[in-house]
């Protein structure tokens, strides 16, 4: 029995394939999904999505969003999904520097900054 | 009767124009198909978001979020007007401007601070002409708006809304209903009225499934609301892009047909002019011969 993994971005359906197991980068840590998991809806963080398929492992960087598991179908909704090979360490480092330069004088601005920093860190982790 | 050569020249130039308009029509048709495919691909995402919201509501969560609530005091408003960068698309831009101008004027009379953001050169020019100075200009959107670019705009609105620099956001765009019907509409995107699209089908299946929410339903809601705002804004851009191509397609089709009619008429006048010229020449020759004989 295999899991069907669907990655959807607002522009198109990025990926629709069968996998033996899926590791989701959740908001608060990784979460592995094997066939027969109970239904769930989760909030994704910024990190790497691991798929182990018959053709070998696949890795994607996902940029926040949601994951839904229902009856061996994992749907991942994210703003962006990039294959890890396409990421560039230099770009990610630059994004992190820029995020750290953002102002954080009020609680709202602080929150915006934190999100930007987290995103850049996730990207950097995936790129390495 | 007009000069035959002048008529022929005019006919030739109209033929060239017809060639151009026909090519533009074909290009618009191809672009329309591409834009349409993209718009359809985006619905997969919106449907999933709506489903998640439905599940959250079914789980008994009270859907509450700062972005959803009407503010008591509205001071700063923004209007985003989506137009095209290029002309030759019939009444597309003028109908948008007709919708946007009164809205901006009305908001300006009631609110102290109203800014106008415009996407598309035609909108920038049209609004400046009507005495409304656009604040932010986005000229990078063509027939296939990128989500990354729209997201940047959406994020800037969101952060302004959260920090209190913005209390209301209206978007003026052309809503695509079908190939033969597109309407210029105004939609208030901030505050978001409701999460689910009114025209999306309500789905009841799977309500009996118990879902686990990770890390919690509240945390998911916190993320769902901004995402759904971004997706809605993106959908506005997609709709506008599709409508623009349809409008251009129809306008260019009309132009090509009109050029054909004009060519037909001109050909008739040209043939008559030529004929009368020949008749005149024959008359002259006969007259000359008779004069010699006489």
Share of chain A above pLDDT 90, in %: 30
Which value does ipTM take for this structure? 0.83
Q: Please, which residues 179-218 of chain B have a Cβ atom closer than 8 Å to chain A?
A: 206, 209-215
Return the SS3 of A87. Answer: coil
- State how far residue A40 is from chain B, nearest Cα, in angstroms: 4
Q: Are B224 and A44 in contact (CB under 8 A)?
A: no
pLDDT tens column, B211-248: 888 888 888 888 888 888 999 999 999 999 999 999 99
- Alpha carbon distance B250, B32 (integer Å): 11
> In which residue ranges of chain A is pLDDT below 70?
none
pTM: 0.87
- Alpha carbon distance B71, A68 (integer Å): 33
CATH class of B28-249: alpha beta
Residue among A27, A41, A106 minimizing CB distance to B211: A41
Domain segments of chain B as ranges: 28-249
Q: Show residues of chain A in contact with B210, CB under 8 Å.
A: 38-39
> In which residue ranges of chain B is pLDDT below 50?
198-203, 205-206
Q: Are A43 and A27 in contact (CB under 8 A)?
A: yes
Determine, for residues A10 and B42 on separate chains, whether the beta-carbon distance falls below 8 Å. Answer: yes
Residue among A38, A41, A65 minimizing CB distance to B55: A41
| Radius of gyration of chain A from its Cα atoms, rounded to whole angstroms | 15
Q: Show residues of chain A in contact with B55, CB under 8 Å.
A: 41
- Alpha carbon distance A123, A92 (integer Å): 6
- Asked whether the bond before B253 is cis by omega within 30 degrees of 0, the reply is no
- Alpha carbon distance A24, B215 (integer Å): 13
Under 8 Å CB pairs connecting chains A and B tally to: 93
Cα–Cα distances (Å) from B144 to B149, B181, B237, in that order, read: 11, 20, 9
Q: How many C-beta neighbours within 10 Å does residue B108 have?
A: 15
Determine, for residues B220 and A77 on separate chains, whether the beta-carbon distance falls below 8 Å. Answer: no
* Whole-number average pLDDT of chain A: 87
pLDDT of residue B126: 93
What residue has token string 């953001």?
B117
User: Tokens in use for B254?
Assistant: 């009309």
Return the ∠ at Cα B63 (arms to B58 and B69), rounded to 5°.
Answer: 155
- Alpha carbon distance A24, B187 (integer Å): 36
pLDDT of residue B266: 95
Residue among B41, B209, B219 minimizing CB distance to A11: B41
Determine, for residues B147 and A65 on separate chains, whether the beta-carbon distance falls below 8 Å. Answer: no
pLDDT of residue B201: 47
Determine, for residues B220 and A39 on separate chains, whether the beta-carbon distance falls below 8 Å. Answer: no
Determine, for residues B162 and A8 on separate chains, whether the beta-carbon distance falls below 8 Å. Answer: no
- Alpha carbon distance A43, B216 (integer Å): 9
């Amino acid at each position: 029995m295999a899991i069907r993994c669907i990655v959807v971005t607002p522009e198109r359906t990025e990926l629709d394939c069968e996998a033996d197991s899926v590791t989701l980068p959740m908001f608060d840590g990784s979460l592995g999904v094997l066939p027969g998991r109970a239904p769930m809806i989760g909030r994704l963080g910024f990190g790497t999505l691991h798929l182990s398929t018959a053709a070998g492992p696949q890795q994607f960087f996902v940029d926040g969003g949601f994951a839904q598991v229902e009856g061996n179908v994992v749907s991942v909704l994210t703003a962006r999904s990039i294959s890890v090979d396409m990421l560039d360490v230099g770009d990610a480092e630059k994004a992190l520097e820029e995020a750290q330069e953002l102002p954080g004088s009020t609680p709202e601005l602080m929150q915006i900054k934190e999100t930007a920093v987290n995103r850049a860190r996730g990207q950097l982790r995936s790129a390495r | 009767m007009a000069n035959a050569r002048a008529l022929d020249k005019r006919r030739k130039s109209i033929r060239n124009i017809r060639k151009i308009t026909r090519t533009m029509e074909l290009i618009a048709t191809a672009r329309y198909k591409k834009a349409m495919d993209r718009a359809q691909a985006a619905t997969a995402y919106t449907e999933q978001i709506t489903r998640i919201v439905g599940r959250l509501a079914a789980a008994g969560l009270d859907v509450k979020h700062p972005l959803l609530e009407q503010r008591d005091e509205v001071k700063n408003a923004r209007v985003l007007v989506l137009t095209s960068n290029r002309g030759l698309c019939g009444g597309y831009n003028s109908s948008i401007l007709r919708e946007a101008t009164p809205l901006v004027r009305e908001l300006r009379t009631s609110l102290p601070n109203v800014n106008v953001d415009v996407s598309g050169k035609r909108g920038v020019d049209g609004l400046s002409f009507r005495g409304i100075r656009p604040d932010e200009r986005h000229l990078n959107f063509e027939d296939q708006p990128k989500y990354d670019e729209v997201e940047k705009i959406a994020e800037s609105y969101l952060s302004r809304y959260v920090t209190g620099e913005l209390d209301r956001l209206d978007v003026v765009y052309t809503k695509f209903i079908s190939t033969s019907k597109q309407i210029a509409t105004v939609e208030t995107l901030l505050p978001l009225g409701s999460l689910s699209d009114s025209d999306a089908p309500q789905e009841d299946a799977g309500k009996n499934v118990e879902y686990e929410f990770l890390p919690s339903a509240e945390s998911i809601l916190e993320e769902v609301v901004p995402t759904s705002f971004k997706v809605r804004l993106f959908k506005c851009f997609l709709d506008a892009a599709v409508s623009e191509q349809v409008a251009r397609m129809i306008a260019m089709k009309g132009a090509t047909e009109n050029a054909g009619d004009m060519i037909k008429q001109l050909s008739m006048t040209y043939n008559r002019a030529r004929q009368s010229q020949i008749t005149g020449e024959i008359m002259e020759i006969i007259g000359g011969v008779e004069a010699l004989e006489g």
